Amino acid sequence: EADIYQTPRYLVIGTGKKITLECSQTMGHDKMYWYQQDPGMELHLIHYSYGVNSTEKGDLSSESTVSRIRTEHFPLTLESARPSHTSQYLCASIAGGSYTEAFFGQGTRLTVV
């Protein structure tokens, strides 16, 4: 079983609020990722990190930001939530090496009202 955790699982919040989605893993993985999953199920990479103090934007433009101060922790922040941010957010990590698989958290279902 994968040791990667996301909190909260569900969040309903008002427009304009600042929110942070938490992602932690206990596997010591260097590489971590945030995906946004649209209602049609497609996954879109929005941020990734290859190690401490390394963050990059993904393929889909996002108003969110991320930080990587510790190897095990990769939080995602929205400074001012909007209804367009309503989505499922999935965090993942990879052990490294070319042929290893990603491990996913259970996701955070965000609803902005």
Partner 1 sequence: GNSVTQMEGPVTLSEEAFLTINCTYTATGYPSLFWYVQYPGEGLQLLLKATKADDKGSNKGFEATYRKETTSFHLEKGSVQVSDSAVYFCAHNSGGSNYKLTFGKGTLLTVNP
**Any idea what the Cα angle at residue 10 is, between residues 9 and 16, rounded to 5°?**
125
Minimum gap (Å) between residue 99 Cβ and partner 1? 4
Cα dihedral 35, 21, 84, 32 in deg (nearest 10): -20
Write out the binding residues for partner 1, residues 10-69 only, by CB under 8 A: 31, 33, 40-43, 45, 48, 50, 58
Q: Report how far residue 57's alpha carbon sits from residue 51's, in angstroms, rounded to the nearest whole number.
A: 14
Write out the binding residues for partner 1, residues 78-107 only, by CB under 8 A: 90, 92, 94, 96, 98-107
Interacting residues toward partner 1 by CB under 8 A? 2, 6, 31, 33, 40-43, 45, 48, 50, 58, 90, 92, 94, 96, 98-107, 109
